Amino acid sequence: MRSEKMHISSRQNQFKRWSKRKPVQISIIGVVLLLLLFAPLMAQKEKIDEEYTAKIKEFTTETFFTTKYVDHLPFSEDVPTQLDILGYIAGAPDIVSYSHEVYKFMQALADASPRVTLTKIGKTEEGRDMILVVVADEETIANLDHYKKINALLADPRKIKDPSEAKDLIKKAKPMYWATGALHSGETGSPEMLMELAYRIAVGESDFIKTIRENMIVMITPILEVDGRDKAVDLFMAKRKDPEATVARSPIYWGKYVAHDNNRDTIGLGLNITNQVLDTYMEFHPLIMHDLHESIAYLYASTGTGPYNAWVDPILIDEWQELAHQEVSEMTRLGVPGVWTHGFYDGWAPNYLFYVANGHNSIGRFYETQTARDGSTRIVRASENRSWFKPNPPLREVVWSFRNNINYQQSGILIAMNHTAKNAQKFMGNFYLKSQRSIQKATTEGPAAYVIPGDNPRPAQAASLIRLLQRHGIEVHKAKKEFETKEGKFAAGSFVVRLDQPYSRMADLLLDKQYFNVNDPRPYDDVGWTAGPLYNVDTVRIADEAVLSAPMDKIQGKMKLGGGVEKLKGGKAQAYIINHDASNSLATFRFAKSDLKIEAAEEEFGVEDKKFNAGSFLLKVGDNTDDLKEQLEEAGKKYEFTAYSVSEIPEVPTHVLDVPRIAIMHTWQSTQTEGWLRMGFDKTSIPYDYISVLDVRDEPNLREKYDVIVFGPSRGNAFSIVNGLPLTGDPIPWKKSELTPNIGVQDETDDMRGGLEMDGVFNLYNFLKQGGLFITLTNSSSVPIQFGMAQGLQIKRTENLWARGGVYSTTFRDRKSPIAYGYGKDLGANFNSSPVFSFSAGGGRFRGGTPSVRTPGSTTTRPSGRGGIGESDVIQGRMKDMAKESVAEFRKAQKEEASTSSSRTSTTRATSRRPRVVLAFQSDVKKLLISGGLNGGSELAGSPAVVDAKVGEGHVVMFSINPFWRNQTQGSYFLVFNAMMNFKNLDAGKSN
Ligand SMILES: [Zn+2]
């Protein structure tokens, strides 16, 4: 109401000002000027849908919360609006659409308009469709394949023979702009907006809209996280359908595995969303992917504070800025407050979904807009502080509606689309140039390649890493002969990731080391992610261009290792040995073939020249069925291992390798991070029951049901886990019902309130005493530690430690522990700030209370960029070693002497304690960081990373590292698998 008055009064003022003016003598020049002035307006004349437009006005709370681009809806005789199909307009108060409603409208649009197509692009984990809507003029839609082909050629300049052909292709190309919505399920506006956007672009007759429709191709995926969308709508709409209903305030599950982290999967590629978006990208090669989020007032267009990702082409960074400034500039000009860029996000990590574009020479960007969440109108507060990047900040307090959100998102993206359409040639030229420069990268900025040595100790893990690279669109070659570079000699069969290919930057950013300076702006997410160490696979960065001329063949199709049975020692086979190399497929094999009797060797041993690691699988002919050899032949091929037949059973102590009954336990407070644990188990085909802390609280006989209970990362500490959700108010169900048909899929309960409680702690304690194994990851380790299940172990309060989401070096302290089976000396592990384990008083390892001491080697000695702490950055998009020679000559002339100084730190070795420290962080703080950032590293150096404590007949194994993180940490999975399969024999090899 208030806005209506303001609107009227300001127009009256204008009128008064106008009427006071003296009559103007209209000259001929004046007429010409007037005609020129109004000509564009006349051309823009289009028919308006009066009813829809009236509702847009009604639901917009202030006149300055909309723009001329979206304050009306064009009318069409033939094409229905949302109001026609669904009965409400985009952003109608208190109405959030289910996926089937969004799809119904989009289908109606596609049926009615020759300018719109709808296709399915795949299924979610829960079986819902993901869709793609394409909008352009009729001619373009009819020839979509032609435009896809042009993009594919520009994406791989190796296929373009002649520069004039490239020019021609760029001229003919139409940029594809892919808008994606509802990746985050509480952020509800984008699907509603994208329906209206599709309609507007299909039927609008203004020059502004026609520029978009005729010069580019708009791609729309209205809902990315379809499973989560429907769960969220269940909860948001339930109370409107039945005011008496009690439902959870927000969905604890979105997709099958993770919630908000569904936007952190573009390194590991574990989720269906990411894979389907990637496949669709590869089919179309859209120029821009624009993901719509809603977490801040009122519209943030992504650029970022930096440090920017050090591996992408600088052209891309510039394109981010150019596009964001269109929206900021035009919206500000139109008098719309709170449209800004720069702050909020950094631009460093490549794990966001829009890196499907950024990593492949396209442009990935996003918005954050002021959400209306459940669609209700409410008062919204924001900071009114100005800054250089927010000269027209949001207001301190406003009445905010669902429609306002639609207005902002839609205006912004239309401005960006219009700018892209007008500058199609430039952007398509950039796309081609970036693709070209990616191919040149091997010999310009380098490196030339990465090599996975052919004689690497973990062939199946290496194969798995190669499959990940291939999934990202990266070509991998195999060396036909031994070859030599300055970095060393590499055996025939070595794998070569050449960086003279279109997606060399994606390869480089996955395989290189990261260095993030802790003094940079606060990182938005992980700062280190190097794939080699996290897969437990050695990769070698090769600067020497000689590698490019080594004879090699491209691996055709998906990487697959051979496998089967090989004879190692003559005579009749008495047993078969499979080397334990901590490749995950061995665990898959063990659980798939639970009938086989397999023993684990407790020490390393040799047969002939062949060495076998401790933990290697021994299958005796006498213990197994007659078809053992055939079974192993088949399994070896499937699970990529070789079983060696021996005529004598090797003399080595062994124990039975179990197939335990496993439960994964979750809380009802947060399931996000433990979702990555479930994903790891599912992808490795490890069977488990999925139970909650409430099940453990209520089940005194856990040991009867389970051998192993794994408690993934949760939220808070031991006490919040024990207390759980407060037992106040009515019971809160998480269950399928008429009002909530989409929830209760992963797990269900009549009441989410309560937690593990003391009963649960006691039940777990009894489970341990009776020989069970309890495995706890990251902060969930606080439960056994705080409740005294691990004698002497505590969680240390750190003062200066900065170790935010990176790859840290750990080393095996007790290689005889079954948990270490198959591993080498060291392992790259994911760790994020806490918990840091230590042993209580008297250990002598941790001398706390020296917060002011600067940690040697931890530092601030280099800017953020590629490479490890001692390495240097490489600026992308230009020749390496630019100006280096002349500097060297100049320096020589000056006869300057470089001096280096080094400082050393001494570490004290701790005395051994009762719980077994299987794995610990590197004691040498200088070697602690592999990728990411580190400060105050002495607080982490040498601290236990995996501890095995005996409780009664059982064991509790606690991890401070996260072995199951975002499908990226495939190399540390086996620490958990080893503990589980050896749960009855974890004391094997114990020294005291
Ligand atoms: Zn979001």
- Min mean pLDDT across 109-118, 469-478, 888-897 is at 888-897
- 846 pLDDT higher than 50: no
CA of 187 relative to ligand 1 center, distance in Å: 6
Which whole number is the average pLDDT over 772-777? 98
Confidence category of residue 661, pLDDT binned at 50, 70, 90: very high
Which whole number is the average pLDDT over 585-604? 98
| Tokens coding 172 | 């003919």
Confidence category of residue 19, pLDDT binned at 50, 70, 90: very low
Which whole number is the average pLDDT over 358-367? 98
Which whole number is the average pLDDT over 634-662? 97
CA of 261 relative to ligand 1 center, distance in Å: 9
CA of 183 relative to ligand 1 center, distance in Å: 7
Sign of CA dihedral 743, 747, 751, 757: negative
CA of 370 relative to ligand 1 center, distance in Å: 11
Residues 803 and 736: their CA atoms lie apart, in Å, by 41
CA of 294 relative to ligand 1 center, distance in Å: 6
Percent of the chain predicted with pLDDT > 70: 91
- 30 pLDDT higher than 80: no
Q: Under a CB-based contact definition with an 8 Å cutoff, are residues 223 and 182 in contact?
A: yes
Q: Under a CB-based contact definition with an 8 Å cutoff, are residues 176 and 219 in contact?
A: yes
| Tokens coding 319 | 């394109």
929 three-state secondary structure:
strand
Which whole number is the average pLDDT over 614-618? 98
- 215 pLDDT higher than 50: yes
List the shell of residues around ion ligand 1, using CB closer than 5 Å: 184, 187, 293
CA of 392 relative to ligand 1 center, distance in Å: 23
CA of 291 relative to ligand 1 center, distance in Å: 9
Which whole number is the average pLDDT over 323-328? 98
CA of 184 relative to ligand 1 center, distance in Å: 5
User: In 96-175, at which residue ranges do the beta strands (DSSP E only) sit?
Assistant: 116-123, 129-135
Q: Under a CB-based contact definition with an 8 Å cutoff, are residues 181 and 99 in contact?
A: no
Strands 449-452 and 540-542, sheet pairing: antiparallel
Which whole number is the average pLDDT over 917-943? 97
CA of 948 relative to ligand 1 center, distance in Å: 38
Q: What is the DSSP string of 610-654?
A: EEE-TT-EEEEGGGS-TTHHHHHHHHHHHHT-EEEEESS-----E
CA of 132 relative to ligand 1 center, distance in Å: 20
- 776 pLDDT higher than 90: yes
CA of 296 relative to ligand 1 center, distance in Å: 10
DSSP classification of residue 734: B
CA of 311 relative to ligand 1 center, distance in Å: 24
- Report if pTM > 0.85: yes
218-238 pLDDT per residue, tens: 999 999 999 999 999 999 999
Confidence category of residue 872, pLDDT binned at 50, 70, 90: confident
CA of 583 relative to ligand 1 center, distance in Å: 35
Closest CA to 927 of 831, 807, 822, 824: 807
**Number of neighbours of residue 140 by Cβ within 10 angstroms:** 19
- 378 pLDDT higher than 90: yes
User: How far is the CA of 451 from the CAs of 384, 444, 560, 670, in angstroms?
Assistant: 52, 19, 17, 40
CA of 340 relative to ligand 1 center, distance in Å: 17
- Rounded to the nearest 5°, which phi and psi values hold at 82? -60, -35
Confidence category of residue 552, pLDDT binned at 50, 70, 90: very high
- 24 pLDDT higher than 70: no
Q: Higher pLDDT residue, 26 or 482?
A: 482
The pLDDT of residue 23: 41
User: In 689-812, at which residue ranges do the beta strands (DSSP E only) sit?
Assistant: 689-692, 708-711, 773-777, 793-796, 806-812
Confidence category of residue 326, pLDDT binned at 50, 70, 90: very high
CA of 292 relative to ligand 1 center, distance in Å: 7
Q: Under a CB-based contact definition with an 8 Å cutoff, are residues 715 and 670 in contact?
A: yes
Which whole number is the average pLDDT over 904-917? 53
Confidence category of residue 731, pLDDT binned at 50, 70, 90: very high
Sign of CA dihedral 520, 526, 529, 535: positive
Q: Under a CB-based contact definition with an 8 Å cutoff, are residues 939 and 799 in contact?
A: yes
The pLDDT of residue 885: 84
**Number of neighbours of residue 759 by Cβ within 10 angstroms:** 15
CA of 188 relative to ligand 1 center, distance in Å: 10
CA of 229 relative to ligand 1 center, distance in Å: 13
Residues 764 and 770: their CA atoms lie apart, in Å, by 10
The pLDDT of residue 662: 98
The pLDDT of residue 992: 61
Confidence category of residue 702, pLDDT binned at 50, 70, 90: very high
> Which residues are registered as beta bridge partners of 809?
828
Mapping DSSP onto H, E and C, the string for 475-536 reads CCEEECCCEEECCEEECCCCEEEECCCCCHHHHHHHHCCEECCCCCCCCCCCCCCCHHHHHC
The pLDDT of residue 881: 78
**Number of neighbours of residue 223 by Cβ within 10 angstroms:** 27
Residues 255 and 273: their CA atoms lie apart, in Å, by 9
Q: Under a CB-based contact definition with an 8 Å cutoff, are residues 696 and 764 in contact?
A: yes
CA of 490 relative to ligand 1 center, distance in Å: 45
Element (H, E) at 339: strand 339-340
CA of 566 relative to ligand 1 center, distance in Å: 52
The pLDDT of residue 896: 61
Which whole number is the average pLDDT over 854-878? 74
CA of 352 relative to ligand 1 center, distance in Å: 11
CA of 293 relative to ligand 1 center, distance in Å: 4
The pLDDT of residue 729: 93
Mean pLDDT of the chain: 92
Residues 550 and 533: their CA atoms lie apart, in Å, by 25
Closest CA to 920 of 987, 854, 825, 848: 825
The pLDDT of residue 958: 98
Q: How is the chain split among helix, strand and coil, in percent rounded to 5?
A: 35, 20, 45
Q: Higher pLDDT residue, 883 or 552?
A: 552
- 20 pLDDT higher than 70: no
User: How far is the CA of 194 from the CAs of 53, 89, 178, 275, 319, in angstroms?
Assistant: 17, 12, 11, 22, 23
- 109 pLDDT higher than 50: yes
Residues 280 and 357: their CA atoms lie apart, in Å, by 11
CA of 295 relative to ligand 1 center, distance in Å: 6
Element (H, E) at 413: helix 402-422
Q: Under a CB-based contact definition with an 8 Å cutoff, are residues 792 and 915 in contact?
A: yes
233-288 pLDDT per residue, tens: 999 999 999 999 999 999 999 999 999 999 999 999 999 999 999 999 999 999 99
CA of 186 relative to ligand 1 center, distance in Å: 8
User: How far is the CA of 410 from the CAs of 165, 253, 342, in angstroms?
Assistant: 36, 29, 20
Q: What is the DSSP string of 544-588?
A: -GGGGGS-EEEPPSS-----EEEE-SSSS--EEEE-----HHHHH
Helix H segments across 791-894? 884-894
822-835 pLDDT per residue, tens: 999 999 999 999 99
Rounded to 5°, the CA angle 233-235-237 comes to 65
CA of 639 relative to ligand 1 center, distance in Å: 38
CA of 672 relative to ligand 1 center, distance in Å: 14
Closest CA to 494 of 448, 540, 549: 540
The pLDDT of residue 9: 38
Q: Higher pLDDT residue, 557 or 10?
A: 557
User: In 743-881, at which residue ranges do the beta strands (DSSP E only) sit?
Assistant: 773-777, 793-796, 806-812, 826-831, 836-839, 865-866
First to last CA, the chain: 80
In single-letter form, the type of residue at position 954 comes to: G
User: How far is the CA of 21 from the CAs of 33, 571, 878, in angstroms?
Assistant: 19, 112, 60
Which whole number is the average pLDDT over 953-979? 98
User: In 32-124, at which residue ranges do the beta strands (DSSP E only) sit?
Assistant: 116-123
Confidence category of residue 889, pLDDT binned at 50, 70, 90: confident
| CB contact set of 938 (below 8 Å; sequence gap of 6+) | 853, 855, 858, 905, 925
- 362 pLDDT higher than 90: yes
Q: Under a CB-based contact definition with an 8 Å cutoff, are residues 554 and 634 in contact?
A: no
Which whole number is the average pLDDT over 922-946? 97
Q: Under a CB-based contact definition with an 8 Å cutoff, are residues 441 and 508 in contact?
A: yes
CA of 728 relative to ligand 1 center, distance in Å: 30
- 739 pLDDT higher than 50: yes
**Number of neighbours of residue 656 by Cβ within 10 angstroms:** 14
CA of 181 relative to ligand 1 center, distance in Å: 9
CA of 778 relative to ligand 1 center, distance in Å: 25
